Amino acid sequence: MSDTAYIATAWIATFGSLGLYSLWLLRRGRKLSRSVPPDERRWL
């Protein structure tokens, strides 16, 4: 692999991981909201 490939891997892996984690968070949030009564969803 060339240096450019390693640099590209670093960028793709970093923002790819963050993107996937963000999607997982958002999906989990929606799923949990459905199982919690509306008046319990307040967080503060």
Partner 1 sequence: MTVDNPTTGAGRPPGAASDRPTGPPTTGSTATRVLGVISLVGIAALVVLGVFLTPADAELGDTIRILYMHVPTVSTAYLAFVITAIASVMYLWKRTEFWDLLAASSAELGVLFFALTILNGMLWGKITWGVFWRWEPRLTTTAVLMLTYVGYLAVRQIPNDTRTRGTISAVIGIMAVVNIPITHKAVDWWRGLHQEKTIFGTVDPDMKGLQLFTAYLGLTVFLVLFSWLLIHRFRVAWLAERAADVGVDAAIAERRAERAVPSSAGGAS
Q: Site residues (CB under 8 A) for partner 1?
A: 3-4, 6-11, 13-15, 17-18, 21-22, 25-26, 28-30, 32-44
Q: Which residues, other chains included, contact 33 with Cβ-Cβ below 8 Å and sequence gap of 6+?
A: 41
State in angstroms the smallest separation of the CB of 32 from partner 1.
4
Minimum distance, C-beta of residue 24 to partner 1, in the bound complex (Å)? 9
Q: How far is the CB of 12 from partner 1 (least distance, A)?
A: 10
Cα dist from 17 to 9, 13, 24, 26, 42, whole Å? 12, 6, 11, 14, 29
